[in-house]
């Protein structure tokens, strides 16, 4: 191993790590400043309502996701049910569906003017909404159902993997002691899967906290919506930063709670072995009931919304295939491509720095580069605007001081802000993919290169880069896809008259014209299916 690298490599690794974490530091610094009149007014009037709704939303989505994911994971890991071969990967499909698109489709279906209530009124003779009761989808409860229906696969994947890794001898011992499969599940499988469940619920909670489009569409006041409204409605970066600080506190609490819940738990178990040895044989009616439950999750979260989008796209194709659609698609591909390549280069730089620089703290730049992924997009957008806004004002003041004309919003009003926001948010994905490939390279290859007199740069070029090329491709692909789907940061950071496919679709959803945005929504969803296909193949290989 090389104990010394060039000063430029060391400096650039630390500089990039600090730059990528700087927006978070800027939010915290701004949030610790004395409260202004606007923030104090919000605290005195509506802020506690925002906080209460946020907590209820996270708890509701967590509970409902648990009720959806855990039975499905148990059936797929332990039971022989009809269609199990297809259900194993089909249950991952809802992850490709943006929640706000699903919200728009079910609102079209279930709202007062939708086909469901219209048919009920025609059949039963009801005239107005006062004549009957029907669940209001535009509510906190509706948001919980919609968000849980697309996020439960996070928990399903982790819980299923945990169930598959549990020893078959434990199940056999429970049966010898006279326990039913259900009793074995509650007393053995579920406690052993608690670490995986805690991680899955934490991921779901953070994704729920970050959601803006769905709660905004349903007019549910949450902290994410408060950040957006404070900046867009009042133009107060200071108040938005203070609310963002509250959200950072929530993120830290969620991460701490996840770690605390499994701080003393240690699990030692052998893999279950052959599949045929572990599948439980249920009664026929139980098998079909389990299959019906699992397929209903797939239909609710993916098949029905996607089928409706295909129908809408076919009906409104001539209205959807426009020069605007092509322009916004090119915008999206360009931004996502630039971010993906830059994120991969950063991941290579800090990943190889960690491997080759064997001094204490060499992993810090990589960890700093990854911190932004846990932060909601709206919060990161505010974190980008704080330093970029300061740079714009400073540059304009400096030029005007010497008698020139300032360039305006050179940083915060251009694509630079959007690219920076995406990089802070998604570099963690690239770091994870590239580091995974780097860790598979045997240390002996580094030693051989050093013995042959190769410099660190030459060793990286001839040994490391060829061996991590697959991981780099995966990193570029994943960051590209996530950048295409990102909405909250794009809504705040995009330049004037600049749209991405995500913001384009969201405008149609907000205007209740999802039919005309269906084609763009299908593009986003199909691209989002790529990592699920990769993940499915990876699971099958293991």
Nearest to 158 by CA among 245, 66, 90, 233: 66
Give CATH for domain 35-291+298-315.
Answer: 1.10.3720.10
CB 385 within 8 A of CB 493: yes
pLDDT for position 161? 83
C-alpha to C-alpha distance for 421 and 343, rounded to whole angstroms: 12
The pLDDT tens digits of the residues spanning 3-37 come to 455 677 788 888 999 999 999 898 888 888 887 78
Residue 79: beta bridge partners?
280
6: left (phi over 0), alpha (psi -120 to 50) or beta: beta
DSSP 404: -
The pLDDT tens digits of the residues spanning 257-294 come to 767 666 655 554 544 444 444 566 677 888 899 999 99
Ranges 57-71, 263-277, 326-340, 380-394: which has the least confidence: 263-277
Q: Examine the pLDDT at 432 and tell me if it is beyond 60.
A: yes
Q: What is the pTM of this model?
A: 0.87
Q: pLDDT band for 375, please (50, 70, 90 cuts).
A: confident
The pLDDT tens digits of the residues spanning 41-97 come to 888 888 899 999 999 999 999 999 999 999 999 888 888 888 888 898 899 999 889
CB 520 within 8 A of CB 501: yes
Nearest to 312 by CA among 537, 508, 78: 508
Domain pair 1-30+316-542 / 35-291+298-315, same fold? yes
Give the DSSP letter string of 4-33: ---HHHHHHHHHHHHHHHHHHHHHHHHHTS
What is the end-to-end Cα distance of the chain in Å, rounded?
Answer: 32
Nearest to 422 by CA among 477, 472, 377: 377
DSSP 95: G
pLDDT for position 55? 93
Q: Which two tokens stand for residue 117?
A: 């209530």
C-alpha to C-alpha distance for 296 and 299, rounded to whole angstroms: 5
C-alpha to C-alpha distance for 201 and 65, rounded to whole angstroms: 8
C-alpha to C-alpha distance for 360 and 379, rounded to whole angstroms: 32
Distance set, CA 76 to CA 379, 414, 538 (Å): 37, 48, 17
C-alpha to C-alpha distance for 20 and 23, rounded to whole angstroms: 7
pLDDT for position 3? 47
C-alpha to C-alpha distance for 469 and 230, rounded to whole angstroms: 44
C-alpha to C-alpha distance for 210 and 229, rounded to whole angstroms: 15
Strand, coil or helix: 280: strand
The pLDDT tens digits of the residues spanning 135-192 come to 889 999 999 999 999 999 999 988 888 887 776 666 666 666 666 666 777 777 777 7
Q: Is the dihedral of CA 401, 406, 408, 414 positive or negative?
A: negative
C-alpha to C-alpha distance for 204 and 33, rounded to whole angstroms: 31
Delimit the domains of the chain by residue range.
Answer: 1-30+316-542, 35-291+298-315
Centre a 10 Å sphere on the Cβ of residue 406 and count the other Cβ atoms it contains. Answer: 15
Give the DSSP letter string of 157-213: HHHHHHHHHS-HHHHHHHHHTT--HHHHIIIIIHHHTHHHHHHHHHHHHHHHHH--H
pLDDT for position 7? 75
Q: What is the CA radius of gyration of the chain?
A: 25
C-alpha to C-alpha distance for 283 and 78, rounded to whole angstroms: 14
Residues whose CB is less than 8 angstroms from the CB of residue 20 and which lie 6 or more positions away in sequence, other chains included? 346, 368, 369, 371, 372, 423, 424, 427
The pLDDT tens digits of the residues spanning 243-263 come to 888 888 888 887 777 676 666
Nearest to 96 by CA among 534, 493, 537, 499: 534
Strand, coil or helix: 511: coil
- Residues 215-242, buried b or exposed e (16+ Cβ, 10 A)? bbbbebbbbbbbbbbbbeeeebbbbbbb
CB 170 within 8 A of CB 59: no
Distance set, CA 103 to CA 3, 59, 137, 150, 305 (Å): 54, 19, 9, 10, 9
Q: What fold, for 1-30+316-542?
A: MetI-like fold (1.10.3720)
């Amino acid at each position: 191993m090389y104990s010394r690298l060039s000063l430029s490599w060391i400096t650039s690794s630390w500089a990039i790590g600090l730059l990528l974490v700087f927006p978070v530091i800027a939010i915290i610094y701004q949030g610790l400043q004395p409260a202004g009149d606007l923030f104090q007014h919000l605290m005195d009037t509506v802020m506690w309502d925002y906080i209460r709704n946020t907590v209820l939303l996270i708890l509701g989505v967590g509970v409902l996701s648990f009720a959806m994911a855990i039975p499905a994971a148990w059936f797929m890991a332990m039971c022989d049910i009809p269609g199990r071969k297809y259900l194993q990967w089909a249950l991952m499909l809802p992850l490709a569906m943006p929640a706000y698109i699903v919200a728009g489709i079910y609102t079209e279906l279930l709202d007062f003017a939708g086909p469901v209530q219209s048919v009920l009124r025609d059949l039963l003779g009801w005239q107005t909404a006062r004549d009957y009761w029907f669940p209001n989808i535009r509510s906190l409860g509706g948001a919980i159902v919609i968000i849980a229906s697309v996020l439960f696969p996070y928990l399903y994947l982790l819980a299923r993997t945990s169930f598959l890794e549990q020893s078959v001898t434990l199940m056999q011992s429970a049966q010898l002691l006279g326990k039913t499969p259900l009793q074995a599940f509650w007393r053995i499988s579920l406690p052993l899967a608690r670490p995986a469940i805690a991680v899955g619920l934490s991921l779901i909670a953070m994704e729920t906290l970050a959601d803006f489009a769905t709660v905004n569409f349903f007019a549910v006041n949450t902290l994410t919506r408060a950040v957006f409204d404070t900046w867009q409605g009042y133009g107060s970066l200071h108040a938005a930063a203070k609310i963002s600080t509250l959200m950072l506190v929530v993120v830290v609490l969620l991460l701490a709670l996840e770690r605390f819940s499994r701080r003393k738990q240690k699990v030692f178990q052998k893999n279950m072995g052959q599949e045929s040895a572990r599948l439980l044989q249920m009664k026929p009616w139980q098998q079909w009931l389990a299959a019906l439950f699992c397929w209903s999750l797939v239909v609710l979260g993916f098949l029905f919304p996607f089928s409706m989008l295909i129908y809408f796209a076919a009906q409104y194709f001539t209205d959807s295939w426009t020069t605007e659609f092509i322009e916004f698609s090119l915008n999206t591909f360009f931004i996502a491509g630039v971010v993906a390549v830059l994120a991969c280069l950063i991941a290579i730089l800090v990943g190889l720095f960690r491997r080759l620089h064997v001094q204490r703290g060499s992993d810090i730049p990589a960890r700093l580069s990854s911190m932004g992924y846990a932060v909601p997009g709206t919060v990161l957008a505010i974190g980008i605007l704080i330093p970029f806004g300061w740079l714009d004002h400073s540059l304009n003041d400096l030029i005007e001081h010497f008698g020139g004309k300032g360039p305006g919003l050179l940083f915060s009003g251009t694509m630079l802000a959007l690219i920076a926001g995406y990089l802070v948010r998604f570099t963690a994905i690239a770091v994870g993919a590239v580091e995974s490939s780097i860790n598979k390279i045997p240390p002996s290859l580094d030693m051989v290169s050093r013995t042959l007199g190769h410099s660190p740069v030459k060793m990286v070029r001839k040994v490391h880069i060829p061996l991590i090329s697959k991981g780099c491709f995966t990193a570029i692909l994943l960051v590209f896809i996530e950048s295409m789907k990102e909405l909250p940061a794009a809504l705040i950071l995009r330049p004037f008259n600049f749209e991405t496919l995500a913001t384009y679709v969201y405008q149609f959803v907000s205007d209740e014209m999802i039919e005309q945005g269906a084609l763009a929504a299908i593009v986003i969803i199909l691209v989002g299916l790529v990592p699920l296909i990769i993940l499915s193949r990876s699971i099958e290989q293991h």
